[in-house]
Amino acid sequence: MTLRLASSSDGPALAIRDHLVPLVRKRGTLQVQRDAVRLIVLQAGELTIEHWTPFNDPSPAEPASPGYRHALSQQHSVPDLPYGLDVRHAGHRVMRLLWADSGAFKVADFVRGPWEAEAFGL
């Protein structure tokens, strides 16, 4: 069994992610789609929300086999966290959250403040 330390910011950060990701996917603008990254951005008042995903067609030089990709992912000692969400308020990053389909996640940055109410108000 793996022991994971939980931060007091994990719950609020995950709740904000769960609220914002559907909004960004629905109302955001595609900014970048190349290599392994697709970036969608939503600007709402003082908030800038950036969401990236690994959904991209493989390049012609990249093997397309799902089995090959799975084998590569098993070679990493730290689980890949291919999804991400950055939230900026008035130009300052107040949250960065990374996660994977497996449920693994990492709250890289989380600054509590009035921006949280603004995010939930969207």
pLDDT of residue 80: 77
DSSP code of 16? H
pLDDT of residue 121: 95
pLDDT of residue 88: 97
Q: What is the pLDDT along the chain (122 residues), one digit of tens a residue?
A: 444 444 567 899 999 999 999 999 999 998 876 666 789 999 999 999 999 988 655 555 555 556 655 565 566 555 578 899 999 999 999 999 999 988 899 999 999 999 999 999 99
Total Cβ atoms within 10 A of residue 119: 21
What pairs with residue 43 in β-bridges?
A: 48
The sign of the CA dihedral 88, 119, 30, 37 is positive
pLDDT of residue 1: 43
